[in-house]
Chain A
Amino acid sequence: METFFAQLANGASTGALYGLLALALVFIFRATDVVNFAQGEMAMFSTYLGWSISRPLSLSWIPFLGVDRHLNLLTWRPEVFGLPLYLGSENDGLTRLGYLVVLVVTVAIAFVMGALIERLLIRPSEGKNLLNAVIVTLGIFAFLNSLANFRYGPVPQTYPAPFRGDAVDFGLFKMSQHSLFALVVAAVLMIAVYVFFQRTKLGLGVRAAALNPSASQLMGINTGRMLTLGWALAAAIGCVAGMLIAPALSGISPNLMFGILLYGFAAAVLGGLDSALGAVVGGIAVGVGQSMVVQYVGSQWSDIIAFGLIIAILMVRPTGLFGAPAVKKV
């Protein structure tokens, strides 16, 4: 029984990470109707930006100047109103406040990055064949992956975690503080996404712009701005996901996200591509499912059964567990 609960907790911790990325995928799908293959790499890249901000060699966070490589003298510790912006050192990790500062700054950068990507790259292919936008996201995927490889190198780097104390003992199982934090953040984000789309006027506008651009244009909604907002917010959610995934998986590397992205897709589709609840539940289901297969069937079967089940579930519920059923119009 102890094993069962340990695997359950372990699966849920991994699943929460899938769920976080799936949440970003769901967000972008609802907001722009695009399946975003670049989501993982966008998250990875913004996480790297966060990583370089949190490093003591501060100028290194200015992307692509490369000054840090040769001018290590330019180490500084910027202070704002006497509050050191960089809190902690390379080895002992960030303090919680420092983490928060880095998080806020990075999410802001990611927000802008998402908006720019939409404006510059996605916009020209919108309203055309759906596949075009998907191929553009594949292009962004390759671009960001290679850029990170070039800029930061392929070697994994440690990443600070906000909560790093002992694991919390629940009696039946133990869970690390970071995993709990990730679960909580996933739940909070899930509720936030739900409230955004269901209860706010802005969210309604974003949804309308995705569902029927021309009609919502007539209703006075600035569809272009809504799409940009959709991408920006999805990038921000992805960034939060990345900053939680990196410490959970022993550091960040350019290829950090590919595996997560595949399981994230699986999670998002399992839960239903238009459901925030589905994303998180789907993620945890995939994570727990994998753990259980490893424990009770055999690890060789882990992927086979996990993905096979997803196909099977989709055959029974074509729009996922929580997705709105497709309406056939005549």
Chain B
Amino acid sequence: MHQTAHYRDGVERFVPSPSEAVLLAALVLFCWKLYGGTENDAVAGLSSVVVVVVAWVVGVSLRAALNDMRWWLLLGFLVALIVPWLGANTFQVGVMSQVCVFALLIFGLNVVTGYTGQISLGHGALVGISAYIIAILSSNYGWNVFAAMTVGISVTTAFGFVLGIPALRLAGPYLAIATLAAALIFPPLLKLDTFEDYTGGIQGLHETRLSPPGPIESFLKEHAPSDAYQNDFQRRKFAEESYLYYISLAAGVVGLVTLWNLGRSRFGRAFVAVRDSEVAATSMGINVPLYKVTAFGISALYAGFAGAAFFLVIAFVAPESFDLVNLSINPLAYLVIGGLATTGGPVVGAFGYMWVPRVINKIATVSGDFDKLQGAMTGLLLIVVMTRLPQGVWGGVRRVNALSWQRLAGDSWAWAFQRSPLFWAGLALAAVVVVLIAQFIGTVWAVFALALLIVAPHDVWSGAGDVLRRLNPGWKRNASIQADVT
């Protein structure tokens, strides 16, 4: 069901054409600055617009010359490197560390659910096993954290293979519920009196957070942005959070690259083959049970890393931390929203997992009495994304991307002329309402939003157009393009 961008030599290219880059940059910056809520919003808004414009211009000019993912990878990596200096405060850096943590978990889910098609609701338990083993070894037995991590991750991988055994006999919803049961068993097990001495029972286990080695710490403290980090405590926090961020980032990048490599190797193909047709896969020489269990094992390896990073970043484990919804169901939901069986989808999903609740919380808080409705907003978002972009955000971006730009421009005009006057009247009305609202609440962000729309009209609008097209099936794209992308 997934779509991948393929170039002439048939090599699957990782990531972004300019449009994707612009959309992503805009998305990231938007969430970022939006949630930052710094005092000088005007500067933040303006600088976002500048960054978006630059990204777009650079992207367009580079597209022909650098039709090679390595440049984009590098660009993305460079941006990721300066994240501590982009963030308005240490909290945001901490959230970005957690984006890396949950990206690892979602990578793992992607292997087992995206590629291999086995729904697993038990991955929260795997993260928990890893985090708990590390916590127990390091706080009860005084192990070095990194040594404990090695053990934790290995044991979790082994558990992953065990969790994969039901996959040999169960299919679809039965497997989903079996793994769900595994996730439900985990917290009560931690609370058992028998294990309480090791697991800390309901109180959980604390660990002092890893602090950076001296030279790194002093370097980071020295170079902390002075406007945001004024006192020594804040600078120390900056050094600590940045250090943890870089560790998580390293893990996340390794996870991303290995996932991408795996996806385009014989393993990735075999996983998808197992998902699409077990019989054909068998006849092509694929040992289906072995690959199913392997998928769980690899996936648990990622989950183990996620647990290790989780322990580093949160530095606290308790049975309540590994609840069903937060660590098993939501990551899966955000994986599907990001895009199943893609490389970029999990990254989008991890961003969504960490940032969507925060942005929604912000919306809810602004709207006063409606803060209880944030669950409803999240629910609506899930529904809208799933019904309008069935292949997830990444799939949707790719779809837009696969279209030729000139054609898109032409199509947009054709589309515009085909709309009824009523539609335009409605749109104008909506715009007026938007402007009025902006009048009442503030203009800086309205300007930013409008700028975003003006800067990348074809791309962004065709993204919206894609949504509208679904609403208006009467409008069909040119048949040749259709064949290109479906």
Contact = CB atoms under 8 A, between A and B. Distances in A.
A–B contact via C-beta, under 8 angstroms: yes
Interface size class of A (residues with CB under 8 A): 35 or more
A139 B181 contact: no
B181 A307 contact: yes
Interface stretch (A75-83, A93-101, A125-133): A125-133
B137 interface: no
B269 interface: no
B1 interface: yes
Contacts, number: 140
A130 B390 CA distance: 11
A121 interface: yes
A135 B173 contact: no
Interface in B137-187: 165-166, 169-174, 176-178, 180-182, 184-185
Interface stretch (A220-228, A238-246, A308-316): A308-316
> DSSP majority for the A interface?
helix
Interface string A28-43: 0100000100000000
Interface in A143-180: 143-147, 149-150
Interface stretch (A9-17, A52-60, A187-195, A261-269): A261-269
Nearest to A307: B181
Given A146-B372, A314-B166, A318-B174, A131 B383 contact: no
A326 interface: yes
A266 B388 contact: no
Given A139-B379, A139-B380, A310 B178 contact: yes
Interface in B330-345: 332-333, 336-337, 340
B372 A150 contact: yes
A218 B135 CA distance: 60
B374 interface: yes
A146 B390 contact: no
Interface in B272-318: 279
B379 A311 contact: no
Interface stretch (B189-197, B204-212, B449-457): B189-197
A139 B376 CA distance: 8
A138 interface: yes
Contacts of B174: 269, 273, 314, 318-320
Interface of A: 29, 35, 121, 124-125, 128-132, 134-136, 138-147, 149-150, 262, 265-266, 269, 273, 300-304, 307-308, 310-311, 314-315, 318-320, 326, 328-330
25 contacts: A124-B470, A125-B386, A128-B390, A131-B332, A132-B386, A135-B337, A135-B382, A136-B386, A139-B379, A139-B382, A139-B383, A142-B378, A143-B383, A146-B376, A147-B373, A262-B324, A269-B173, A269-B177, A273-B174, A307-B184, A308-B181, A314-B174, A314-B178, A320-B174, A329-B279
